Chains A and B, each alone.
Chain A
């Protein structure tokens, strides 16, 4: 049962009491600065001074009393004035005259049983609670005394404070999601509990544009440089676009336009295997035109490397992961190369 007992609703000081209780139960009362959620003096609500003191057996000195103010709504419903302490429920209560006697169970990291009583008037209250840990071996009972006194008027601003905090949180989430959109960060938009799940459509609209751009080598290179290839792949997959197909189109264009640098990125291994024998195989490395070098470096890896090509190459079905390596190509020197080699042998470096 939540902290909404009819017996407690009748007491005007319940909110202050519960606040004090919540702080005590949460174990954060004494070091934490109080969040001020009201403006004192103007009304129409009621300003109360609350004093709490905690006693623990075995403590070398008594803990000092803590005094703070709370603002209770003038025309509050009992429900509105009761703070929600999620780990505590009232399990028993009874009212005798102006006195309420109650028992609470608190769960969470510090489970405990709380027995308390409080006597009240419209302008004051005082009471006591005994908190007993439930864990085995923890038998130290803590006693808290508290009292309250109505001291004037105030304006409760809790709702505004909460609304402000919520707005700040919403703005932070909006900023984070915008960044995630910009970076094509799919996990932020998809999956259980994704922070930006409400913006999946915007995400996929953007990814659709990226998928079209990926068919052009320059845009492909830019997109991958911005977000890295795995992120781009995941984004496209999340929105049911085919990354491998888009990449294949870009690679085909790169091969047509002799964009050797693009072919050498590792995304176009089928095209490299086709172009390599013509432009790289059998040539002296240092005589290969510089513009061809990225592609020829990749060709060297594909034909002489020790590990299968992974990543996009594998995704595109090249001789990548899981497939046997092509045998290293035999050196096939042509007469011109043999002549060059003869000269090379004379070069002492």
Chain B
């Protein structure tokens, strides 16, 4: 069984009991596109599939790390890279223990390059240790009402007890882009991180929609073996905001483009004044 099928099977096993198949069919124009997805237009869920399932969020986790970092550290605050951060696995900037960088540069590296060394350096700087930072992450998740989210590490590695739902990740993205510092960073196509002794790291945004999709504003990519390809993408045109969350996506970029363009096209074609009839809230 390939990775995508595994993810879908796992997702199906976690479908909430109250999600009727009819409701899923009515709001799922992209069956099989991802283990879970959600498309929101101006805060209203337009299409979704399995969006309450608890799945691996991979580096989308770093959105929470970024929130806690900007709430604790000023842009110019100095962060010293520890041994543990310097040894972080996966995507990394190439930081070495003892390097010192402004917090904002590490934040950009964590969000755009998805650099785990930068991410961990921030977490340790904010809370002293990753364990304490993770406790803060979970407290903030609870405060944000993310009922299907739990973090076991700061940067998104697969592991027991590390999960989130597409629905929760949409809320997390809202909280993240509400911070102007984060919003400004994730909208860049590339950035640099400079150590205080003059070493420069250049990196591109792993979210390739920025600069390619009209109105793209960021915000975060993710990948792990268990999570598959993940994405939270935000775009705005003419005052309309479209947010897409994909977890375990089969064809992440093309599907995200199709979803974003569909959402804008549908909004454009919709009559100007439509008042939804009273009824149960959309799932």
A348 B91 Cβ-Cβ under 8 A: yes
Interface presence of B266 (CB below 8 A) = yes
Could you say which of A92-100, A115-123, A297-305 contacts chain B? A297-305
A301 contact set on B, CB distance < 8 A:
257-258, 261-262, 265
Q: Looking at chain B's contact residues, is the secondary structure mostly helix, strand, loop, or mixed?
A: mixed
Instruction: Flag whether A306 is at the interface (Cβ < 8 A).
Output: yes
Within 8 A of B (CB), among A314-349: 321, 328, 331, 347-349
* Bound Cα distance from A297 to B214, whole angstroms: 9
**Cα–Cα, bound, A315→B34 (Å):** 33
Complex interface: chain A residues within 8 A of B257 (CB): 285, 296-297, 300-301
* B261 with A297: CB separation less than 8 A: yes
- With A and B bound together, what is the CA distance between A303 and B59 in angstroms? 29
Cross-chain contact A306 with B266 (CB below 8 angstroms): yes
A297→B213 CA distance, assembly (Å): 7
User: Any chain A CB within 8 A of the CB of B255?
Assistant: yes
Looking at chain B, what size class is its interface with the partner chain? 20 to 34
Cβ-defined contact, B59 with A306, below 8 A: no
A310 engages B224 (CB within 8 Å)? no
B262 engages A307 (CB within 8 Å): yes
Shortest C-beta distance, A345 to chain B (Å), equals: 8
Report the minimum CB–CB distance from B260 to chain A (whole Å). 8
Q: Does B29 contact A (CB under 8 A)?
A: yes
Within 8 A of A (CB), among B112-145: 113-114
CB–CB A310/B268 < 8 A: yes
On whether the beta carbons of A310 and B253 are closer than 8 Å, the reply is no
Residue from the list B59, B212, B251 in contact with A290, Cβ < 8 A = B212
Summed over the interface, the residue pairs from A and B with CB atoms below 8 Å come to a total of: 76
Known contacts A285-B208, A306-B30, A311-B268; decide if A348 and B90 are in contact (CB<8 Å): yes
Please, what's the 1-or-0 string for B238-270, where 1 marks a CB less than 8 Å from any CB in chain A? Answer: 000000000000110111011101100110110
| Complex Cα gap A286–B208 (Å) | 6
Assess whether B254 is in contact with A304, with CB atoms less than 8 Å apart: yes
B213 neighbours in A (Cβ, 8 Å): 293, 297
Instruction: Please give me the residue from chain A that is nearest to B266 by CB atom.
Output: A307
| Residues of B close to A296: CB separation below 8 A | 257
Q: Which of chain A's residues have a CB closer than 8 A to the CB of B114?
A: 348-349
Evaluate contact between A306 and B29: CB separation under 8 angstroms: yes
- In the complex, what residues of B have CB within 8 A of residue A306's CB? 29-30, 47, 258-259, 262, 266
Determine how close the nearest CB of chain B comes to the CB of A314; give it in whole angstroms.
9
CA distance A286 to B255 in the complex (A): 13
Chain A residues within 8 Å of B208, by CB: 285-286
Chain A nearest CB: distance from B52 CB in Å?
Answer: 20
Contacts of A349 in B (CB 8 A): 59, 91, 113-114, 206, 221-223
Asked if A309 lies at the interface with its beta carbon under 8 angstroms from chain B, I say yes
Q: Determine how close the nearest CB of chain B comes to the CB of A162; give it in whole angstroms.
A: 41
Query: Are B206 and A304 touching (Cβ within 8 A)?
Result: no
- Residues in B with CB closer than 8 Å to A311 are 268-269
Tell me, rounded to whole Å, the shortest Cβ–Cβ distance linking B278 to chain A.
25
Which residues in B have their C-beta under 8 angstroms from that of A284?
253
Contact of B253 among A285, A305, A309, A321 (CB under 8 A): A285
Q: In the complex the two chains form, what is the Cα distance from A286 to B262 in whole Å?
A: 20
* CB under 8 Å from chain B, chain A span 264-297: 266, 284-286, 290, 293-294, 296-297
Known contacts A306-B259, A306-B262; decide if A331 and B251 are in contact (CB<8 Å). yes
Interfacial chain B residues near A300, Cβ < 8 Å: 254, 257-258, 261
CB distance from B92 to the nearest CB of A (A): 9
Nearest CB in chain A: distance from B193 CB, A: 16
B38 to chain A, nearest CB (A): 13
What CA separation (Å) do A213 and B127 show in the bound complex? 63
CB B22 to nearest CB in A, in angstroms, measures: 17
Contacts of A294 in B (CB 8 A): 214
A286 CA / B257 CA spacing, docked (Å): 12
A229 to B211, CA, bound (A): 24
CA distance A321 to B265 in the complex (A): 11
* Min CB gap B111→A, angstroms: 11
Mask of B83-103 contacts with A, CB within 8 angstroms, 1/0 = 000000011000000000000
Residue of B211, B213, B265 contacting most chain A CB atoms (<10 Å): B265
Please, how many angstroms separate the alpha-carbon atoms of A296 and B214 in the complex?
12
**Residues in chain A near residue B212, CB distance under 8 A:** 285, 290, 293, 297
Smallest distance from the beta carbon of A238 to chain B beta carbons, Å? Answer: 21
By a CB distance below 8 angstroms, the chain B residues around A297 are 212-214, 257, 261
Across-interface contacts of B268 in A (CB, < 8 A): 310-311
5 A-B contacts (beta carbon < 8 Å): A285-B208, A286-B208, A290-B212, A347-B223, A349-B222
Interchain residue pairs A-B with the least CB separation, the first 6: A285-B253, A306-B29, A301-B261, A304-B258, A348-B90, A305-B262
Q: A286-B253, A307-B265 are in contact. List 16 more A-B contacts (CB 8 A).
A: A290-B212, A296-B257, A297-B214, A297-B261, A300-B254, A300-B257, A300-B261, A301-B258, A301-B261, A305-B258, A305-B261, A307-B269, A310-B268, A348-B223, A349-B113, A349-B114
